[in-house]
Chains A and B, each alone.
Chain A
Amino acid sequence: MRLLLEKLSVERFHASPLTLVELYSYISRNIGKLRLPPELRDLVEVDEGLRVRVHVRECLARLPRSITLISDTGDVMGVSVGGEVSTIGVFHKFAEALRFFPRLRLASLDLLHLMYARQLVEHTRYFATLEHRDTRQSRYYRKGVRDQGHRYRFNTKL
């Protein structure tokens, strides 16, 4: 990001909340490859959701201060940008997705689709997607539904 800013020779860079969603998605799916420093690691090791948040916040905290995240309307969540803890508004579905990433570890757009499906879960029998990565994914989809106490079968394959 720093290199990009230098290359573009711009003073400010505005990122959309989708960037935040993608960051959560990426870190959630690669959490096993990331290692926090000793002592700090122990504090959040037992909770994978906390670990993901720490890594995301670290990434954001290390961004240059000239980068800002554009705020949506809707649910408000705190994020750290450029070392400052600030509060931005993120669309409800994005905020909901951020809470689910550590558990479901899906690609960002997959999870956003799933969040919309959850909204209609009482009228939804199948969740259809062109993604057919593996059966592990479909298990996560079912888990996502079961967490809400519904028993609708989500089929990940068309």
Chain B
Amino acid sequence: MDGWSVSQDSLWCATMKTPVSQVHDPSTFMPDPYVALLLSRLARELTGRDVIRGIVAYDDPDYGPVVRLVVDLDAREALDLWLKLVKLIPYERYGIVIGVRWLGEDNVSRDELVDYVVKIMVEGGLRTTALEPLDVVRELRGERGRR
């Protein structure tokens, strides 16, 4: 497959820097080949080289299909790539959550990580979900003594 020649074996051997918990998650599966090819080509176009070392997919109960790319980049480059990808393939339009994990150095600060996460959410049309209804106004009224 053009631009994506990572075998299933090497995929399962991939080690993500952040986090490591889902690398061997048995609930993941290979994504649709066309989706994998599209993402692979986009990543190459955006970074100027072949950086994808693995692609897995899984279903999230709240958000639906998720495709995760494992890339041979440092954290900053990977997060930049992630941001560009979600701008091109926003969740609100295509209904696919894109994730990126990196094999290189963790070279972003906590502040920068927060910035990236928020930008990826906003640019990609991803929103926080509430597990139960929240009433901000009611709580603030209570705190201010206007129950």
Binding site for B on A (CB under 8 A): 22, 25-26, 30, 32-40, 42-47, 50, 53-55, 57-58, 61-62, 78, 80, 83, 85, 107-109
Going nearest first, the 4 A-B pairs with the smallest beta carbon separation are A39-B99, A37-B126, A38-B60, A57-B118
Q: 13 other contacts beyond A33-B131, A35-B130, A42-B18, with CB at 8 A cut-off?
A: A33-B132, A34-B128, A34-B130, A35-B128, A35-B129, A36-B121, A37-B128, A38-B66, A39-B100, A42-B22, A44-B114, A47-B110, A108-B143
CB of A77, distance to nearest CB on chain B (Å): 10
Instruction: Say yes or no: A22 contacts B140, CB within 8 Å.
Output: yes
Instruction: Say yes or no: B122 contacts A43, CB within 8 Å.
Output: no
Instruction: Say yes or no: A34 contacts B131, CB within 8 Å.
Output: yes
| Given known A34-B131, A38-B63, A108-B143, contact A44–B118 (CB-CB < 8 A) | no
Which residues in window 1-25 of B have CB below 8 A to A? 18-19, 21-22
Instruction: Say yes or no: A85 contacts B115, CB within 8 Å.
Output: yes
Among A37, A46, A83, A107, the residue within 8 A (CB) of B97 is A37
Among B18, B21, B122, B136, the residue within 8 A (CB) of A62 is B122
Alpha-carbon separation in the docked complex, A44 to B121 (Å) = 13
Q: Is the C-beta of B111 less than 8 angstroms from some C-beta in chain A?
A: yes
Residues 111-127 of chain B, each 1 if its beta carbon lies under 8 Å from chain A, else 0: 10111011111100011
Q: Which residues of A contact B128 (CB under 8 A)?
A: 34-37, 55, 58
Alpha-carbon separation in the docked complex, A32 to B128 (Å) = 12
Alpha-carbon separation in the docked complex, A53 to B136 (Å) = 17
Report the count of interface residues on B (CB-CB < 8 A): 37
Alpha-carbon separation in the docked complex, A55 to B121 (Å) = 10
Binding site for A on B (CB under 8 A): 18-19, 21-22, 60, 62-63, 66, 68, 91, 97-100, 110-111, 113-115, 117-122, 126-132, 134, 136, 139-140, 143
Q: Which residue of A lies closest to B67 (CB)?
A: A39
CB of B114, distance to nearest CB on chain A (Å): 5
Query: Chain B binding site: helix, strand, loop or mixed by DSSP?
Result: mixed
Can you give 7 contacting A-B residue pairs, CB < 8 Å?
A33-B131, A35-B129, A37-B63, A37-B126, A47-B110, A58-B122, A109-B143
Among A30, A34, A45, A58, the residue within 8 A (CB) of B121 is A58
Instruction: Say yes or no: B134 contacts A61, CB within 8 Å.
Output: no
Instruction: Say yes or no: A57 contacts B114, CB within 8 Å.
Output: yes
| Given known A44-B113, A50-B113, contact A35–B121 (CB-CB < 8 A) | no
Instruction: Say yes or no: A61 contacts B129, CB within 8 Å.
Output: no
Instruction: Say yes or no: B114 contacts A38, CB within 8 Å.
Output: no
Instruction: Say yes or no: B114 contacts A39, CB within 8 Å.
Output: no
Instruction: Say yes or no: B118 contacts A61, CB within 8 Å.
Output: yes
Q: Which residues of B contact A38 (CB under 8 A)?
A: 60, 63, 66, 97, 99
